[in-house]
Amino acid sequence: MKDGLDLPTFDDVVAAHERIAPHIHRTPVLTSSYFNALTGAELFFKCENFQKAGAFKVRGACNAVFGLDDEMAEKGVATHSSGNHALSLSYAAGRRGIPCHVVMPKTAPEAKKAAVRGYGGIITECEPSTTSREAVFAEVEAETGAEFVHPYNDPRVIAGQGTCSRELMEQVEGLDAVIAPIGGGGMISGCCLTLSTIAPEVEIYAAEPEQADDAYRSFKAGRIIADDAPVTVADGLKVPLKERTWAFVSNHVTDILTASEEEIVAAMKLTWERMKIVIEPSCAVPLATILKNKRVFAGKRVGVIITGGNVDLDKLPWMVV
């Protein structure tokens, strides 16, 4: 760890990788001659949609859970999330045999609650407001003594996410650039942490929905700007940067590119059609930005992080009217 923000170092990534290896997949890297021809770049898709619990977030969650000493672990872990972090933390806690408390708005879809419970997570419902969530979460924490694991603004989580780009660099030689979606910035921070140490020549691009472009505007302004309840199909990318992820993003990201809702949905559908893989809307944002910024990527070998595959198959975005 270094400085007042308690930022993780690459040594923490290496330690994380060893710690989580028994609990995660070393996910495959896929290529597509169709997308190479379409973009003029050579794309290498790191498929975290095939990851345990269906998303890269299990890396950070496992690192946090398996890094606890026995006494702390006994009281369990806690978080507030209705997305992949809640699933991943529940999975990780289940592997260690400790409780995982998740605070979720009572309005969250039943399917998401069922998925968290399916991994053993214990849900406490709150009203759909920040005030209620914080109050209920404080109660849960006080009652259980569980360790809070933030979805991304946590050094253990960032170090865990850094293992993904480390694997990618082992799997593909001579990458010129890596691109990943940006929401709170956990994955991108992990990329920055790892690549700035082991491959500082590799460019790092972050991809964001135009309708939730707080990271883009923060990057241009040089300070964190948070959006108020943005609306986008890429629902994993609505959250704002926090101080730890901002430290990485502001220091190491080459550029942030954005795509419209239509471009995101089109890239998502095209990926399903041509690559035959199920990816979340969030994961389609990088490809959407590559397609509209071909000159940036042409002739380059580009790692594309496919962050997850947890989709409601009954409600696909190209079918919603």
> Phi and psi dihedrals of 79, rounded to 5?
-155, 170
Site of interaction with a second copy (CB under 8 A)? 28, 30, 49-50, 54, 269, 272-273, 275-279, 309, 313-314, 316, 318-319
Q: Is 149 helix (H, G, I), strand (E, B) or coil?
A: coil
Tokens of 22: 């028994």
Minimum distance from CB of 117 to a second copy (Å)?
A: 16
Minimum distance from CB of 33 to a second copy (Å)?
A: 9
Q: What is the rounded distance in angstroms from the CA atom of residue 85 to the CA atom of residue 89?
A: 6
- Buried/exposed code over 124-153 (b: 16+ C-beta within 10 A; e: otherwise): bebeeeeeebeebbeebbeebebbebbbbb
27 or 218: CB nearest a second copy:
27
Residue type, 81: S
Shortest CA distance to 19 belongs to which of 92, 94, 97? 92
Asked whether 149 and 77 are in contact (CB, 8 A), the reply is yes
Q: What is the rounded distance in angstroms from the CA atom of residue 176 to the CA atom of residue 161?
A: 20
69 or 273: CB nearest a second copy:
273
54 or 281: CB nearest a second copy:
54
Minimum distance from CB of 36 to a second copy (Å)?
A: 14
Minimum distance from CB of 232 to a second copy (Å)?
A: 21
Minimum distance from CB of 177 to a second copy (Å)?
A: 25
90 or 245: CB nearest a second copy:
90
229 or 320: CB nearest a second copy:
320
Minimum distance from CB of 277 to a second copy (Å)?
A: 6
291 or 316: CB nearest a second copy:
316
Phi-psi region of 222 (alpha: psi -120 to 50; beta: other; left: phi over 0): left
